[in-house]
Structures are given as structure tokens and as C-alpha cells.
Amino acid sequence: ISNNVCRSASSTDHIIQTTWIKNSTICGNTLSGGSGKGILLDDESNDCVVDGNYITDVGQEGIQLDLADNNIVSNNRIYDVDRVGIRVANSSVSNLITANFIKGAGRLTNNTYGCIELSGSANNNTSILDNIFRKFGSGNEALTPIIVTNTTPTGTKCTGNDFGTEWSTPELGNYTWNNNASISLGDSEFTASATATTAIG
């Protein structure tokens, strides 16, 4: 699915959705508008590549993986989306999220969503590498660039990401962890635990 242009989508459906489709390539599309997601890999949409898409002004997530394994999400530009820039959900395993530029996530509700979020259960072996995160600059903004919530993933790696100066420093302040998630940050690893509230590194 490549080189399509969909502007000012009015549907409540997602602009591009694959369900039980393996080995697909979604690249070079320009997607905007609508109240759904920009791109959704759903229900065993495994071994896919989502690369070089421009997604803006969608009502939910820019890109979401849902029960989808072994995918590469790379080199996408995600701008001004209502919820999460890229969301990995519901036992999506061994995915690589790399070299994406996300500016202006979480526009729906201030300090609620992340630029990248692992949510659901057992999203194991996710690598979040070399992405660039920026705030929109006005209005509602993301809580932190990377959020791990309602899950206890193993094998999560977060290295080489560029947070600019818009969130707190050092870089540990750019993550929100929950439920004893153990995360590898390059040469260091730490564990944060929380019960009723979220732990912020």
C-alpha cells in the first residue's frame, strides 16, 4: 500500500487498516483527517513494514499495532494527532519502532498521552530506537515522549532517542513507567514500581 494521498478523511474508520495480513508494506502515504487512526496493523498483521508515511490531524493514534508481531515501523512523520503517535497494544511482540519523527501527540487532552506508548499486556521485546520527539508548542501536549502503562513487558529497549529540550532532563525524566516494567536504556537498566499512581523516572 504505497504513495496514496488521503486528505480530510471524514470517516470514523481508520484510514489504512490491515487485519490478518502478513508481510505487507505500507509506505510513502500521506494521511490526514478523520476520527480514527492513521494506520492500524490488527489481529496477526505480522512481519510488516510501515515506512515513510506522513500522518497528521487524525482523531486517534497515528499508527497502532494491535496483536501484531515482528513489524518494523520506521521513518514516519507523525504530526498533530489527538492521541498517541505510535501505540503498541495487546500482546504485540518483537516490534521495532525506529527513526520516526513525532511532533504534537496528545492534542485531545493535556498531559495524558505519549508520543510512543506500550499499553495492554505482554508487549515483549519492543525496541524504541533513534526516534525524535517534539511538543507542538501550544495547546494540549503529550505527558511524556514514552509511556509504558498497564503492562509488564520484558526485553524493552529504548536507546538513541532525541527528546530535545522540551521535556525534563536527564533523559530518564522523559519516560513514564507503570507496573514494575523493566526497561533497558542503553548501558543502564532500572525498574520503577507503582500501584495506584504512575512512577515517573
Q: What is the pLDDT of residue 171?
A: 47
Write the DSSP string, 34-50.
SSS-SEEEESS--S-EE
Instruction: Sheet with 175-177: list strands edge to edge.
Output: 16-19, 39-42, 63-66, 86-89, 114-119, 144-149, 175-177, 199-200
Peptide bond into 145 cis (omega under 30): no
> Which parts of the chain have pLDDT scores under 50?
169-171, 173, 187-201
Asked if residues 103 and 80 have their Cβ atoms less than 8 Å apart, the reply is yes
Round to whole Å and give the CA distance between 89 and 190.
22
pTM: 0.87
